[in-house]
Amino acid sequence: MKTQNIPELLVPAGSRASLEAAIEAGADAVYLGGASFNARAGAQNFDGEGLAEAVALCHAYGIKVYAALNTLVFDRELYSVLSYAEFLYRCGVDALIVADLGLSSLIRRYLPDLPLHASTQMSAHNSDAGHILKEYGFSRMVCARELSYDNIKSIVQSSPIEIEIFVHGALCVSHSGQCLASAMIGQRSGNRGECAQPCRLPWQGSAAKRTERYPLSLRDLCLAGQIDKLLQIGVTSLKIEGRMKSPEYVYHVVSTYRRLLDERRNASPEEIGWLARVFSRDGFTDRYFTAKPDITMLGIRTEENKQKSRSIPPFEGLRRKIPITFDAVLSVGEPARLRATVRDRFVEVFGDTVETAVNAPLAKETVIRCLSKLGQTPYSVNKDNINISLDGGSMLRISSLNALRRAAIEQLIKTDEKRTNFKLPPLSEKEILSLSNNPVNEGRQASVKTAQFMSPAQIPPEAVSYFDIIYLPLETYITAPDNLYKGVILPPVIFNDEIRQVSKMLKSAVQKGATHALVGNLGHLSLARCHKLICHGDFRLNITNSLSAKEAVEAGFTDVTLSPELSLPQIRDIPFPKSTIIYGRVPLMLLEKCVIKDNASCTLCADGSFELTDRRGIKFPVVRSFKHRNVLLNSVPVYMADRVELLIKYNIGAHHFIFTTETNAECQEIIRAYKKGLPPKAGTHNIRRLHT
């Protein structure tokens, strides 16, 4: 159904019914998840046999299938997830959507001809990300939802790989891949497909100038009114979110976008209203795309919204058929031959030998009737498209004709035998993990202490001698009164239109004495290295296994701060140079829009005194980041001062501290507590421990 020179329309399929709705509505490609390792564990997803059938059905309609393997993976899962990737390969999926560097390295090694798409969970948001992802073997980058039109356009113009963007559906308030809220608050990891959506719950802002009960709940994205601009950008794929949504949602949303793309026009107000009736959170937003993020983006699912959605027509099932052409050759003494053609593809099959008729010869009408019995298959045939070469006085049994037709259809939907017959070489979990062996780092890990502070005013004098590297945010470092500190923290987000400014700031920081950089995004690595800074991987890289650590070190990171989601044994088993957060409030969300400005004032944005209180009365500080972005911090700090023996037991020698809301005196007190191995203050229960 797709016409030339328009992007692929990529559609969610969280169930068999939704898959059929996507096909009926005119999808060019679908993305789906199997039973494991995808970021929508709550969707119905597809079991083994069901997934193979789904791929075959889509391919029959000329629709591509991308399978999501976009969760973070632990060491002990690497063999299982590779085996599952092998199964997906045999099913014939057209690409895998991946978020884990270790997994991507395994797939490149063992399934080199299976395309990889970098999931939005990888937080790719600039052109440099596209270049490094190509080096990692990715053929497509799924961009962050927060990008503006200008930034998307500049990425497309300079990217060496395909670019995919979201155009419709739910918006996370945090940058994808940068949210630990569900994991830290509710022990349900969003990076592992189990998000409990705390952002959709009520929160109260401190010193609020408004009574926003849902300051973190965003309206759904809708770019149906921006089709003209989307066509100008040149992206490869337009993605609709919704693997948790109903078949009705999939059918009505996809059919609307299909019509708009084919007609090359923006949606009318009536069409936008129809999409809102199908599903919305009190309306839609396009404020990231238009570079105007503000409080109008907030919205929740109201009872009125739900009532409207209940009134939309139900999806009535897959009715669309694919036109097929048959060419049959029935010559006496030769095997019956049938060619079936669909679009630009054909198959040819042979059947029983055609015999000389004893009584009534075979009639063309009989052949047409047998070949037209396509029943529950995806195909339909017009009798004018059945071409028959039939010898007079010939005979072939009806059962033979039916078998010939079935054989042709089976060949049309059959997966490439190279795929179906593929088998991984015999591998064990131990062999998989051996790929990450690092002889340079054998034995006890070196004792290194690093810390990051929000401001120089927080840093007590003894911190300079206690820590090997002290980091300050780049924007703070260049205005600091002295050059005692050697580390800068790169902004967690650097869009294309911010790269020049950040580069100038890095130049100033280097001139002032900076030699180390804490880098939290693959797309920022080349920028830091360009200024000859020693690069250390931040926890934002989401390193959760040995192969990911290896990939990061080989990319140019001296060491990596591991994900806060790891347990002590999991940290121990990663052999590459690593650091572990042993003190501090772990950042839970990275917010593109300024929630402080929306709910309080810019004064509080500057002094760092803003908090959000959840429905249980627990307070979570919110601090400002580069370009007025916000970071939601955990309500409690990690505290391990009195667990030094436990850290030694698990070979955790490199320690990282995060100081955010602490005063100078509090920072000094914490440093002294770690020097002496002191327990938390008496009566202090609000801490978080690294667990076993």
Six-digit token string for 586: 């772990």
Question: Does 414 lie in the same domain as 562?
Answer: no
Contact in structure between 589 and 625 (CB atoms under 8 Å): no
Average of per-residue pLDDT across 632-644: 96
Which pLDDT band, with edges at 50, 70 and 90, does 328 fall under?
A: very high
Q: Is the pLDDT reported for residue 195 higher than 50?
A: yes
Contact in structure between 168 and 223 (CB atoms under 8 Å): yes
Question: Does 133 lie in the same domain as 104?
Answer: yes
What single DSSP character describes residue 342?
E
Which pLDDT band, with edges at 50, 70 and 90, does 599 fall under?
A: confident
Question: Does 533 lie in the same domain as 649?
Answer: yes
Question: Does 529 lie in the same domain as 391?
Answer: no
Question: Does 237 lie in the same domain as 385?
Answer: no
- Please state, in angstroms and rounded to a whole number, the distance separating the CA atoms of residues 449 and 152: 39
Residue finishing a domain among 310, 330, 347: 310
Nearest to 553 by CA among 440, 446, 388: 440
Q: What is the pLDDT of residues 666-676, one digit of tens each?
A: 999 999 999 99
- Is the residue at 548 inside a domain? yes
**Lowest mean pLDDT across 207-216, 378-387, 460-469:** 207-216
Residue 597 has a pLDDT of: 87
Nearest to 173 by CA among 629, 636, 658: 629
The total of other beta-carbon atoms located within 10 Å of residue 465's CB is 8
Question: Does 356 lie in the same domain as 377?
Answer: yes
Contact in structure between 536 and 519 (CB atoms under 8 Å): yes
SS3 category, 626: helix
Contact in structure between 536 and 513 (CB atoms under 8 Å): no
- Is the residue at 691 inside a domain? no
- Please state, in angstroms and rounded to a whole number, the distance separating the CA atoms of residues 234 and 152: 9
Nearest to 530 by CA among 490, 573, 485: 490
Six-digit token string for 27: 């999808």
Six-digit token string for 542: 């989401």
- Is the residue at 615 inside a domain? no
Q: How many helices (H) and strands (E) does the chain have?
A: 25, 32
% pLDDT > 90, the chain: 84
SS3 category, 55: helix
Q: Is the pLDDT reported for residue 13 higher than 80?
A: yes
Mode of pairing for the β-strands spanning 654-658 and 578-584: parallel
SS3 category, 661: coil
Question: Does 520 lie in the same domain as 453?
Answer: yes
Question: Does 275 lie in the same domain as 385?
Answer: no
Question: Does 335 lie in the same domain as 303?
Answer: no
- Is the residue at 635 inside a domain? no
Question: Does 85 lie in the same domain as 222?
Answer: yes
Residue 204 host element (H or E): strand 203-205
- Is the residue at 194 inside a domain? no
Length reported for the chain: 692
Contact in structure between 159 and 166 (CB atoms under 8 Å): no
Average of per-residue pLDDT across 459-483: 94
List the CATH number of the domain containing 479. Answer: 3.20.20.70
**HEC-encoded secondary structure of 349-397:** EEEEEEEECCCCCCCHHHHHHHHCCCCCCCEECCHHHEEEEECCCEECC
- Is the residue at 300 inside a domain? yes
Q: Is the pLDDT reported for residue 439 higher than 50?
A: no
Q: Is the pLDDT reported for residue 218 higher than 90?
A: yes
Mode of pairing for the β-strands spanning 630-633 and 619-624: antiparallel
Residue finishing a domain among 251, 277, 310: 310
- Please state, in angstroms and rounded to a whole number, the distance separating the CA atoms of residues 36 and 13: 15
Contact in structure between 33 and 260 (CB atoms under 8 Å): no
What single DSSP character describes residue 14?
S
Q: What is the pLDDT of residues 43-55, one digit of tens each?
A: 667 877 889 999 9
Residue finishing a domain among 401, 420, 439: 420
The total of other beta-carbon atoms located within 10 Å of residue 62's CB is 16
The amino acid present at 252, given as its one-letter code, is H
Q: What is the pLDDT of residues 151-191, one digit of tens each?
A: 999 999 999 999 999 999 999 999 999 999 999 998 899 99
Which pLDDT band, with edges at 50, 70 and 90, does 2 fall under?
A: very low
170: phi then psi, degrees, rounded to nearest 5: -60, 145
Residue 1 has a pLDDT of: 41
CA angle 560, 561, 563 (to 5 degrees): 120
pTM of the model: 0.94
Beta bridge partners of 492: none
CA torsion sign, 500 to 504 to 507 to 513? negative
In angstroms, the Cα distances linking 212 to 206, 417, 522, 597 are: 11, 57, 35, 12
Six-digit token string for 110: 């063992």
Question: The sheet that has 335-342: what strands, in order across it?
Answer: 345-353, 335-342, 325-330, 386-390
Q: Is the pLDDT reported for residue 208 higher than 60?
A: no
The amino acid present at 194, given as its one-letter code, is E
Residue 421 has a pLDDT of: 85
- Please state, in angstroms and rounded to a whole number, the distance separating the CA atoms of residues 586 and 659: 10
Q: Is the pLDDT reported for residue 310 higher than 70?
A: yes
| 534 vs 607, more confident | 534
The single residue listed with the structure tokens 């092998």 is: 86
Question: Does 339 lie in the same domain as 304?
Answer: no
**Count: domains in the chain:** 3
- Please state, in angstroms and rounded to a whole number, the distance separating the CA atoms of residues 685 and 676: 19
Average of per-residue pLDDT across 423-436: 80
Q: What is the pLDDT of residues 383-423, one digit of tens each?
A: 999 999 999 999 999 999 999 999 999 998 887 777 888 98
Side-chain-side CA neighbours of 62 within 13 Å: the count stands at 18
- Is the residue at 212 inside a domain? no
Range of the domain at 57: 8-171+218-310
Question: Does 505 lie in the same domain as 397?
Answer: no
- Is the residue at 12 inside a domain? yes
